[in-house]
A and B are shown apart, each in its own frame.
Chain A
Amino acid sequence: MNPLDMLMFALNALRGHKLRSVLSMIGVAIGVTSVVLLTALGEGARVYVTGELATLGSNLVVVLPGRTETTGAMPALVGTPHDLTLEDLAAIRTRVPRIRRTSPLTFGQALVSFRSLSRNTNVIGTTSEFETIRRLKISRGSFLPTGDPQRGSPICVIGTLIQKELFPNLNPLGQVLHVGAYRFRIIGVLEPKGQSVGFDLDDMVLIPVASAMKVFNVTSLFRIFIEADSYSELESVKRNVLNILKERHNDENDVTLITQDSVLASFNKIFRALTLALAGIAGISLTVAGIGIMNVMLVSVSERTPEIGLLKAIGVKPRQVVLAFLTEASLLSLLGGITGLISAQFLVRLSLKLFPKLPAAVPDWAIVTALGVALGVGITFGVWPARRASKMDPIQALARR
């Protein structure tokens, strides 16, 4: 028999019980929508985070004190490492070839105050090159000036949140900010940037690294940033940095080097796994939808018992009866799947409008998988009702009215 005729017969049967068909289609549609939408959002989050990381620069090497065996995770200290110091930084700067710029980082929290207003905030001690390395932008004034990192001048750059909180109606440039027990003159304000990989760049005060060491009474650095001339130099720069630090730290390998590559790769992996988990959870709703289809088909089979008897009487083969009901179930799931895809696309567009920063996108594999699974669900859950129909005794079926 012509497949098109079979399709028309099934379609006609579905139209015979519109409400039930539409309801079970909606079940599949919701399942497919949630699978596709959640994967799209997961993918969006992945692209967003990795993109954010990539803005830090792919030529960047970050030096952490302490040795860890895994990359990408927060470092766990092994043994008692030597501190990273400004002397280490100077040695790297002078002895490692093919590096463009370096920058130290100390980090602490302190109470900053201006007149009667105060706020607990992150204080970062660094140098002028930090501006370029972290792609910071100044909206007013200037960034920390270049100079000897060992000299701590009493100047600072503040984030927009600090400006808003402490200088609501005042130009902060030239004002004196108290950071802990010390006084700093404000020379610049950062552009609003928002959260970036763990740092709230708006809620932040930047001061020269030597000053920060004084404020927090430390001699060690939290991080050293090194930017290589190019991506291809990264490996040799890493090797050189390691050698120099090993030599300076009593022949001990007690630092960890992180490149954006490894961080990116870890984040990629994490988000892929997360997306798959989300899709799996959404997939459960597809199973529920499948049971809905089975229910509708069982009702359909029992309601159309006389029709099945008649089909047998006019010489329809048992295989054709199975096929007719399977086609019906597949149509239900396929139509539901297509509806779901359309609504998912619509919702993804909507989310792009509402959250333009999150680049939600439906991956091709999600479309294929969702439709495939929907169809599979329809067929799987349609088999039992269809077989039941084909095995019916025609005489009893015809006798039922």
Chain B
Amino acid sequence: MIQLTDICRNFQVGEETVHALKNINLEINDGEYITLMGPSGSGKSTLLNVMGCLDHPSSGTYLLDGKDVTNLSETELSLIRRNHIGFIFQFFHLVPRLDAASNVELPMVFAGIGRAERKQRVQKALNSVGLSHRARHKPNQLSGGERQRVAIARAVVMGPSVLLADEPTGNLDTHSGSEIIQLIEEMNRAGLTVVIVTHDPSIGERARRRVSLRDGAIVEEIRK
């Protein structure tokens, strides 16, 4: 469960202070499916990064599963990201020199999970995104849709409770884009909390709950 209270995020750009997020209050329950929409510069990506513990709010409090994570150290935050959060990016961010299986394996390697268990979980994760036959392919041998599916497998392999996707279809054609969305929705149906940042209304409308941002503030919230 994500509880954001009075979250502000300010950037210093030269002399000027930019208010990227202004007093955001948002609660997301476990297993919810929510999209963040808004024009570029509206603060939707910043909000996602705050939820993912990649960015520190300038003020306000963030409770993740009831635990205050606002003022944790870098190392403690990395542990939260490792165990509770899965990220999906617009540009996939696969490590180019590693094949699909090794990319999926990466979080578990650094988490110190044993070799045998890693192998098993990689297989399962690749299976769940329908890519077990491409396990030994390098990213440059995969299509955009396949790359994003590898990235999804990597995001869920540590068994997080929250899946955060920043424009996951922004770099894909319509067909593979909708496949990716369906895959993410499948993960949601399996129990994952899903937050998708998008400016594509057709994707935004699929979620049960839609939050629209403008100039760093929530301007509209629609629940189906």
Contacts and interface: CB of A to CB of B under 8 A. Distances in A.
A192 interface: no
A320 interface: yes
B154 A314 contact: yes
Contact of A313 (B74, B87, B97, B98): B87
Given A315-B82, A394-B54, A395-B54, A310 B95 contact: yes
Contacts of B95: 307, 310
A15 B49 CA distance: 32
Interface stretch (A1-9, A38-46, A71-79): A1-9
B93 A310 contact: yes
A317 interface: yes
Interface string B94-128: 01111000000011011110110000000000000
A315 B80 contact: yes
Contacts of A306: 91, 93
B78 interface: yes
Contacts of A313: 52, 54, 81, 87, 93
A311 B112 CA distance: 14
Nearest to B87: A313
B97 A15 contact: yes
A21 B82 CA distance: 31
Contact of B111 (A309, A315, A318): A315
A223 interface: no
A401 B94 CA distance: 12
B83 A12 contact: no
Given A2-B112, A320-B110, A314 B81 contact: yes
**Contact-residue bracket for chain A:** 20 to 34
A3 B69 CA distance: 30
A39 B87 CA distance: 55
A314 B112 contact: no
Contacts of B65: none
B163 interface: no
B83 A315 contact: yes
Interface string B182-202: 000000000000000000000
A22 B46 CA distance: 41
Contact of A314 (B74, B98, B107): B107
Nearest to A320: B110
Interface string B63-80: 000000000001100111
Contact of A398 (B93, B96, B114): B93
A325 to B, nearest CB: 13
Interface in B6-41: none
Contact of A315 (B81, B91, B98, B115): B81
Given A315-B82, A316-B78, A1 B87 contact: no
A317 B80 CA distance: 10
Interface residues of B, number: 31
A13 interface: yes
Contact of A395 (B49, B107, B115): B49
A23 to B, nearest CB: 18
A123 to B, nearest CB: 77
A319 B75 contact: yes
Given A315-B111, A320-B110, A398 B80 contact: no
A16 interface: yes
Given A1-B110, A1-B111, A16-B97, A314 B55 contact: no
Given A1-B109, A317-B78, A312 B54 contact: yes
A12 to B, nearest CB: 6
Name which of B49, B78, B79, B106 has the most chain A CB atoms within 10 A of its CB: B78
A57 to B, nearest CB: 67
Contacts of A15: 97
A169 to B, nearest CB: 76
B93 A309 contact: yes
Contacts of A16: 96-97
Contacts of B75: 317-319
A259 to B, nearest CB: 67
A289 B154 CA distance: 38
Nearest to A309: B93
Contact of A312 (B78, B109, B154): B78
A319 B79 CA distance: 12
Contact of A5 (B87, B109, B158): B109
A334 B68 CA distance: 44
Nearest to B110: A316
Interface in A319-351: 319-320
Given A13-B97, A16-B97, A311 B54 contact: no
Given A309-B93, A313-B54, 4 more contacts: A311-B106, A313-B81, A314-B82, A318-B78
Q: List 5 tightest A-B contacts by C-beta distance, closest first.
A: A315-B82, A315-B81, A16-B97, A314-B107, A1-B112
15 contacts: A2-B114, A2-B115, A12-B97, A13-B97, A307-B93, A310-B95, A311-B110, A312-B54, A314-B110, A315-B85, A315-B110, A316-B110, A317-B78, A318-B74, A398-B89
Interface of A: 1-2, 5, 9, 12-13, 15-16, 306-307, 309-320, 394-395, 398, 401
